[in-house]
């Protein structure tokens, strides 16, 4: 199976998936001059993958959150500019919202788990 996202070897399909491209400017040489014109000294472009996982059972939530527990993680994802790409990233805050207990599977179901993977 070809996953849209693989985090530290854990393949998954988020329910919402966004890629943000952010310019990173050097501190010296970027800003506005006295005429109000913007001057830039771009150091590079970094990517942020913004993720939401909906209706996720406890067992999958555990695997997902364990995949992003390290200080830095290896992420393979679909990049709109470059196609399939692998990067080293760190994870932002993880937000987990409870939904219900499913008697059939005997597991808690999380309404949503959201976090960002930001390029190192």
Cα 57 to Cα 51, 89, 92, 94: the distances in Å are 17, 25, 22, 16
Q: Which 3 state secondary structure label does DSSP give 118?
A: strand
Assign 7 a pLDDT band (cuts: 50, 70, 90).
very high
Give the closest residue to 60 by CA, choosing from 113, 1, 23, 3.
113
Q: How far is CA 106 from the centre of its chain?
A: 29
pLDDT band at 11 (very low <50, low <70, confident <90, very high): very high
**What is the average per-residue pLDDT within 4-10?**
96
At 1 the pLDDT is: 62
Shortest CA distance to 75 belongs to which of 12, 16, 29?
12
pLDDT for position 39: 84
Q: Render pLDDT for 69-78 as a digit per residue (tens, 0 to 9).
A: 999 999 999 9
Round the average pLDDT of the chain to a whole number and report it. Answer: 94
Nearest to 97 by CA among 36, 50, 54: 54
Phi, psi of 60 (to 5 degrees): -75, -35
- What confidence tens digit (pLDDT) does each residue in 29-57 have? 788 888 888 888 888 999 999 999 999 99
Residue 48 near residue 20, CB atoms below 8 Å: yes
């Amino acid at each position: 199976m070809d996953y849209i996202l693989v985090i530290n070897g854990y393949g998954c399909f988020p329910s919402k998936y966004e890629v943000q491209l952010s310019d990173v400017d050097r501190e010296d040489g970027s800003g506005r001059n006295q005429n109000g014109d913007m001057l830039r000294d771009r150091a590079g472009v970094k990517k942020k993958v913004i993720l939401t996982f909906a209706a996720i059972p406890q067992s999958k939530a555990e695997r997902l959150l364990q995949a992003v527990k390290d200080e830095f993680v290896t992420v393979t994802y679909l990049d709109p500019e470059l196609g399939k790409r692998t990067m080293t990233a760190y994870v932002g805050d993880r937000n987990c919202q409870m939904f219900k207990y499913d008697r059939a599977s005997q597991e808690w179901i999380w309404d949503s788990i959201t976090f960002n993977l930001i390029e190192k």
